[in-house]
Amino acid sequence: MAKDTSGLNQNNDILTGLPKRVSPGENKKRFSAQVDAGHAHIEGDMELGKKCVTALRSNGDFQRATQGFHSYPARLHPDAARLLLNALPGDALADPFCGGGTLLVEALIAGRKVYGSDLNPIATLVSTARTALLSPEQLDELQRLVEGIADEAEKNIADKKPVHLHDAILKYKSWYKPNCFEELTHLFGAIRASESELKPLLQAIFSSLVVKYSLRASDTSNKVVFIPRKNGAVLKAFRDKSREYLQQLTELQTLVPPGTQPAQISLADARHPGFDRVDTIITSPPYPGTYDYLLLQQLRQAWFNLDMRSNQEIGSRRSFKQARAAYETWLKDTDSWVKACAKALLPNGHIAIVVGEGMHAGKLLRVANPTIHAAQKAGLEFITSAAVERKDPATKMKKIEYILVFKKK
């Protein structure tokens, strides 16, 4: 079978139609919030800097509202998001690299007007699902929909009813055990046929199972893990995940203050963000050379037949492997997105940027001074820099993670 050259995984291996058997669990990456923070350093406003350090040190499990729904690589810890929102009060919050929507959920709970955008359509799908504010009637409808879809899929499997699939997902069929692929196929077909306005939420529930019930070790690794799966395991997981998600949505509705507007989420490049006239921007752009966020979603991309626009991704790991000038490109992209966000910021508004050093060819990729320079060129005033050291679990080298805060003059 021909190789899929649409992208590389974190180990620079091409994800092909045929999985390569590899020992699982080696050099597994962890979320930055799961790596203990060491020495801290603050420049500028000390009081705000201390709050930012506390945010950077956020760690541990979390169950608040929809924050536990759907895995997403390298997400900001929800407590860090909450602490930053408390430190930077305002009316309207925007995140141009919204990812899985962690900040958006916390901003809704804080009663803010919320805007999110991302270049990745999986990110906007997950963010939309996490921030959904449903009425009791809509929650009842969603429950009926998921039960009906699971029942329909189960019946069609028993009747051996065929489901038409596009070529994109057939190319990756061998990344699934046959019984798991069959169950996913029938769930996908039933969801695709839905005409409900809640269909994106059904798609997000399905998306949460796509990697877990494949042969991939995790969202950030294409290493192969063979886990025995009984017939009906995927259908059961769909029902269980749906039930859990409904409970999370109910909790979200109780936490969000009455009258809070639904989040406005758009598919947009941060260099041309999908919002303007906000008084607070809190965001975590890609750390240079660390992840291929778009290509980590290859299986979901295939199921939903999406155009991921991976050539537009900022600071991707593969770009540092493929081009000598990747760091210079990252610098230019940083100038571009910071300038665009500064333009969208209201006078006296604040922007907080959570960014960490990357690594390529054994060398650290500096991020703080370039980001500060980009902000100052965009007319923003430096307020504080909070930094903590973290030891990279794979290389054991120390890297620094920052929260940089600026104000529009």
**pLDDT at residue 321, rounded to an integer:** 87
Residues 160, 199, single domain; the answer is: yes
| Domain annotation covers residue 17 | no
Report the range of poorest mean pLDDT among 164-168, 276-280, 373-377.
Answer: 164-168
- For residue 146 the two structure tokens come to 């998921």
Rounded to two decimals, the pTM is 0.90
Please give the residue that has the higher pLDDT: either 202 or 6: 202
Q: What stretches of 345-401 show up as alpha helix (H) in DSSP? A: 368-377
Q: What are phi and psi of 27, to 5 degrees?
A: 50, 40
Residues 287, 245, single domain; the answer is: no
Residues 65, 103, single domain; the answer is: yes
| Domain annotation covers residue 4 | no
- Evaluate if residue 18 carries a pLDDT over 80: no
**pLDDT, tens digit, 9 for 90 and up, residues 122-181:** 999 999 999 999 999 999 999 999 999 999 999 999 999 999 998 999 999 999 999 999
Q: How far apart are CA 238 and CA 41, in angstroms?
A: 45
Residues 270, 361, single domain; the answer is: yes
Residue pair 279/90 in contact (Cβ under 8 Å)? The answer is: yes
Average of per-residue pLDDT across 372-386 = 98
Residues 72, 175, single domain; the answer is: no
Average of per-residue pLDDT across 283-296 = 90
Residues 240, 320, single domain; the answer is: no
**156 dihedral zone (left: phi>0; alpha: psi -120 to 50; beta):** alpha
CA atoms within 13 A on the CB side of 79: 14
Provide the CATH number for the domain around residue 342.
3.40.50.150
**pLDDT at residue 35, rounded to an integer:** 64
Residues 127, 140, single domain; the answer is: no
Q: How confident is the model at residue 311 (pLDDT cuts 50, 70, 90)?
A: confident
| Domain annotation covers residue 22 | no
Which residues lie below 8 Å from residue 73, measured CB to CB, with a gap of 6+? 219, 220, 291, 293, 296
Out of 254, 276, 295, a domain closes at: 254
Out of 219, 254, 289, a domain closes at: 254
Q: How many domains does the chain have?
A: 2
Q: What are phi and psi of 154, to 5 degrees?
A: -60, -45
| Domain annotation covers residue 150 | yes
Which residues lie below 8 Å from residue 295, measured CB to CB, with a gap of 6+? 6, 7, 8, 9, 15, 308, 310, 316, 318
Residues 320, 303, single domain; the answer is: yes
Residues 141, 248, single domain; the answer is: yes
Q: How far apart are CA 199 and CA 208, in angstroms?
A: 14
- Evaluate if residue 272 carries a pLDDT over 60: yes
**pLDDT at residue 33, rounded to an integer:** 45
**Structural domain boundaries enclosing 45:** 32-131+262-408
Residues 125, 140, single domain; the answer is: no
**pLDDT at residue 16, rounded to an integer:** 52
- Evaluate if residue 293 carries a pLDDT over 90: no
Which residues lie below 8 Å from residue 245, measured CB to CB, with a gap of 6+? 66, 69, 129, 201, 205
Residues 154, 127, single domain; the answer is: no
- Evaluate if residue 119 carries a pLDDT over 90: yes
- For residue 341 the two structure tokens come to 């966000």
Rg (CA), the chain: 21
Out of 205, 238, 254, a domain closes at: 254
